[in-house]
Every structure is written in structure tokens, then in C-alpha cells.
């Protein structure tokens, strides 16, 4: 653990959150169908993690894990439906806002929150960013950075998009109010015919577009529970799915422009060289894979998310393609360590500061746990193994080296029996270890 600096010497922290952005939705991630210059510039000055995953591929439990460093399943929060689940006071008291506030930081939060209802933003140790609720978040952040920042500070900027892509399926199933951002995103380029649009401009269908015959019943049940999801899967044409992908790209470009204005203000205020900046998302979006949109499942588009950390003095332009990092439970420890604060004990996550600085940590994890409302998964780098809850009790085993699109479930392959058994044990140990860490904490 590095020595804790005096408050006046500590680094500021800006945490930028997008909503429902999968890891491939950046041009710096080699996606040719959109341009994200702000995210690209942040990556050029920092470290981008290719193997970063959310703690749970849905909003509420993912965001709770980010702020606490613990899997939200520890207090019974595994889906957005658990909004009335109480969060233990001991967990709230050790959350991100309190940790930084107790170290002498001003702690501000602007934008989307989405915590369990019994737990307010103020209870989590944050003040609301002035004007963020009534105006544009990027403008409120810029005003604070240029005119109101008191060092040291932790500023969380939680943007809405590209989450508005949700309304395409919702509105198609049952007409509803569609956000202006999505209306704009669905527009085709001016002066371009429909045929030219689909032949030159619109993203193609993804690998693994068709659902597999052996899909777990738990996944199909998720779709039936939200009828608009089932409607999209069963009625949308390939062209409609491609249009969904087009709009998703445009919404991501829109939030990238908002992020750019925040980063410009940080630079203009002379704070760039004294501020740690991290960018991630609460979860991804299936983006037409398996004829699905939205989230809640373990597949790569829903669970793998962007994670970029730029730390003053660290070499920029690094891409970590090796280490498994949780953009959920690792976030608190990483931000504390990069800022110069002591990391709270007993977290489910760990600091990725060494990786941010391009160093090889001596004891990095060889597997990563992910929760969902329908099961749990362990990722070991090459393989992903998911065990679904009763009554389904299905298993999925994917070899990401041979099958990046997760199209072939190896759980019933006799030749992979040893791999399957090993991953069953890994998952059991991961869950037990997480439970052990919580003993005495809450």
C-alpha cells in the first residue's frame, strides 16, 4: 500500500459513467461504425482494459457494486426489481462517497443514480452536483470544474446514454414517449436512399445473430417476463435489427460529445495533470446478438464493458488485453489507490493501479465472478462457465478463443468434461470466497 498523501497533495478523481454501453462501442476498440473521439483521446492518455466486465449486467446491482466494492447479491440485490431491498448500514458507511469524504474530499454526483430506494445519494456520502438535475450534465460538470472545484474532489458524472436505445423496442411493442435523442439517432443520413443506407452506412448483423437451439430456459424466461423483448426477438426483421445497431452507435456518439465537453473543461481549468479520470459503463447491450437487445444476461455484449483509467504520470496509450478486471467491484479500490488513499479492507474487488501504470502485479486474479438475476458465472480468461438458478439449473461453457461469439455451448461435450468440472469448482470457490469476505462486515 503506497503512503497516504496529505489532502492538499492528493489527486482529484473524475468518474465518468455511461449507461448500457458495451465494450465494443468505441472507435478505439476497432469499431468502424461509429466515431468516439473523446473516449479515444482518454484511452490515448491512459490505459484501456479489453477484459473488463460489470459485476452484474443490469443497472441497479451493477451501480451498487461500483460504489461499494462488493457484489450486490451480498445484500439480496440481483436485479432492478430489488429496488426496495435495504442495503446494510455498514456497507453504505464504507461506500465510495464516504471513503473519499472522510479523506477530506468534496464528493459530488451528477446524473443518473439508480440505487435501492431505501438508500439515498446523500446517505452514500455524496452531494448532488448543482444544476445537474435541471440542466445538461456536461454543462454542470464544466461549470463546477472551471469555477467551483475545491481540491481535492471526487466528481461522478453519470450520463444517460446510450441507454435510450431501450425505447426502440419499448415503443415498437406499445407506443410510448420516445426521447428526442433516440428520435435523432434513428434518422438516416440526409440525401441517402434506403438501399444505399443499408448497403453502405448501417452496421451488419453481428456474429451469433440467431438464438441457439439449446438456449437456457432462464434466458427465454427473461424475455417473456418483459414482453417487448420477446416481441423484438420474434417479430423484428434483420433490417430492423440493423437499424437498432445504427441508432445505438449514434447514441454512443452523442454521449461521447458530452464527455468531450467535460474533458475540455477539466483541461481548461488546469486540473488535467492532477486528476485521475476513469470511464466505464454499468453494463452493455446485446446489440442484436441472439436477436436480443437490452441486458441482464452473461453474454459478452451485455457483460463486457468499457474501462479506461487515465492517471497523472502514468504512460498513456496502453491496452491491457490479458487481465480480468471488474468494472464493478474493482472500481472503488482502484480509484482510492490511484488517488493516494488507503483502500478499504475486505472488499470483493482489488486495485488495478499497477495495471493502469503498465506494471505486472504479482498476484492478479485468474478468474472473475459475475452475478445476474438468473445465475452466476465464472470467467477464467479462455472459458466462461455459467450456472443458472433453479428451476432451470442449466449450464453454459464457452471457449472464447475458439468461439468468440459464444455460439457453441460445450457443457455437454464429453471431451470438455474435465474443463466443466474444474469450472464448477472455480465458481463454487468464488462464491464461497466472496461470502467469507463479508463475514463481520455486514
Q: Are residues 355 and 428 in the same domain?
A: no
DSSP string, 237-260: -HHHHHHHHHHHHHHHHHHHHHHH
Which CATH number covers residue 409?
3.30.1120.10
How far apart CA 213 and CA 230 sit, in angstroms, is 16
Cβ 276 vs Cβ 309: under 8 Å: yes
Q: Are residues 26 and 81 in the same domain?
A: yes
Which tens digits make up the pLDDT trace of 40-51? 999 999 999 999
209: left (phi over 0), alpha (psi -120 to 50) or beta: alpha
Q: Which of 286, 164, 284, 160 is nearest to 215 (CA)?
A: 286
What backbone torsions phi and psi does residue 253 show, to the nearest 5 degrees?
-65, -35
Cβ 35 vs Cβ 27: under 8 Å: yes
335: left (phi over 0), alpha (psi -120 to 50) or beta: alpha
Which of 341, 365, 389 represents a domain boundary (last residue)? 365
For residue 393, what are the domain limits? 371-438
Which of 331, 365, 399 represents a domain boundary (last residue)? 365
What 8-state DSSP symbol labels residue 363?
T
Is 200 a domain residue?
A: no
Partners of 398 in beta bridges: 384
What backbone torsions phi and psi does residue 11 show, to the nearest 5 degrees?
-80, 145
The number of domains in the chain is: 2
pTM of the model: 0.96
Q: Are residues 395 and 350 in the same domain?
A: no
Name the 3-class secondary structure at 132: coil
pLDDT tens sequence for the chain (442 residues): 333 444 446 899 999 999 999 999 999 999 999 999 999 999 999 999 999 999 999 999 999 999 999 999 988 899 999 999 989 998 999 999 999 999 999 999 999 998 998 888 999 999 999 876 556 999 999 999 999 888 899 999 999 999 999 999 999 999 999 999 999 999 999 999 999 999 999 999 999 999 999 999 999 999 999 999 999 999 999 999 999 999 999 999 999 999 999 999 999 999 999 999 999 999 999 999 999 999 999 999 999 999 999 999 999 999 999 999 999 999 999 999 999 999 999 999 999 999 999 998 888 999 999 999 999 999 999 999 999 998 888 999 999 999 999 999 999 999 999 999 999 999 999 988 877 766 656 5
Which tens digits make up the pLDDT trace of 305-327? 999 999 999 999 999 999 999 99
Q: Are residues 31 and 54 in the same domain?
A: yes
Amino acid at each position: 500500500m503506497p503512503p497516504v498523501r496529505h489532502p492538499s497533495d492528493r489527486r482529484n478523481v473524475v468518474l465518468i459513467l455511461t449507461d448500457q454501453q458495451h465494450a465494443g462501442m468505441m472507435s478505439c476498440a476497432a469499431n468502424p461504425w461509429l466515431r468516439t473521439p473523446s473516449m479515444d483521446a482518454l484511452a490515448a492518455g491512459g490505459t484501456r482494459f479489453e477484459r473488463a466486465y460489470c459485476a452484474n449486467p443490469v443497472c441497479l446491482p451493477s451501480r451498487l457494486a461500483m460504489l461499494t466494492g462488493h457484489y450486490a447479491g451480498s445484500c439480496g440485490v440481483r436485479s432492478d426489481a430489488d429496488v426496495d431491498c435495504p442495503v446494510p448500514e455498514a456497507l453504505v458507511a464504507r461506500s465510495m462517497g464516504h471513503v473519499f469524504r472522510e479523506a477530506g474530499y468534496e464528493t459530488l454526483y451528477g446524473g443518473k443514480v439508480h440505487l435501492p430506494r431505501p438508500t439515498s445519494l446523500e446517505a452514500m456520502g455524496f452531494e448532488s452536483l448543482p444544476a445537474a438535475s435541471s440542466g445538461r450534465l456536461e454543462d454542470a460538470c464544466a461549470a463546477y470544474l472551471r469555477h467551483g472545484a475545491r481540491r481535492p474532489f471526487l466528481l461522478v458524472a453519470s450520463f444517460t446514454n446510450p441507454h435510450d436505445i431501450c425505447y426502440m423496442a419499448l415503443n415498437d411493442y406499445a407506443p410510448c414517449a420516445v426521447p428526442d435523442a433516440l428520435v435523432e439517432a434513428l434518422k438516416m443520413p440526409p440525401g441517402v436512399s434506403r438501399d444505399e443506407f443499408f448497403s453502405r452506412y448501417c452496421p451488419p448483423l453481428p456474429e451469433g445473430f440467431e438464438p441457439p437451439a439449446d438456449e437456457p430456459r432462464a434466458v427465454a424466461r427473461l424475455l417473456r417476463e418483459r414482453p417487448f423483448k420477446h416481441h423484438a426477438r420474434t417479430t423484428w426483421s434483420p433490417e430492423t435489427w440493423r437499424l437498432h445497431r445504427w441508432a445505438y452507435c449514434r447514441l454512443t456518439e452523442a454521449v461521447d460529445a458530452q464527455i468531450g465537453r467535460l474533458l475540455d473543461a477539466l483541461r481548461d481549468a488546469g486540473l488535467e495533470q492532477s486528476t485521475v479520470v476513469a470511464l466505464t459503463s454499468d453494463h452493455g447491450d446485446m446489440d442484436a446478438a441472439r436477436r436480443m437487445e437490452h441486458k441482464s444476461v452473461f453474454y459478452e455484449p451485455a457483460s463486457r464493458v468499457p474501462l479506461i483509467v487515465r492517471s497523472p504520470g502514468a504512460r498513456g496509450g496502453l491496452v491491457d488485453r490479458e487481465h480480468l478486471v471488474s468494472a464493478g467491484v474493482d472500481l472503488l479500490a482502484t480509484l482510492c489507490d490511484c488517488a493516494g488513499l488507503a483502500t478499504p479492507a475486505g472488499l470483493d474487488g482489488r486495485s488495478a493501479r499497477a495495471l493502469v501504470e503498465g506494471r505486472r502485479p504479482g498476484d492478479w486474479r485468474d478468474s472473475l465472478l459475475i452475478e445476474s438475476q438468473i445465475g452466476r458465472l465464472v470467467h477464467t480468461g479462455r472459458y466462461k462457465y455459467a450456472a443458472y438458478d433453479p428451476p432451470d439449473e442449466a449450464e453454459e461453457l464457452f471457449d472464447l478463443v475458439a468461439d468468440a461469439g459464444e455460439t457453441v455451448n460445450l457443457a455437454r461435450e464429453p471431451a470438455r468434461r474435465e474443463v466443466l468440472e474444474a469450472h464448477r469448482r472455480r465458481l463454487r470457490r468464488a462464491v464461497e470466497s466472496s461470502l467469507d469476505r463479508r463475514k463481520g462486515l455486514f
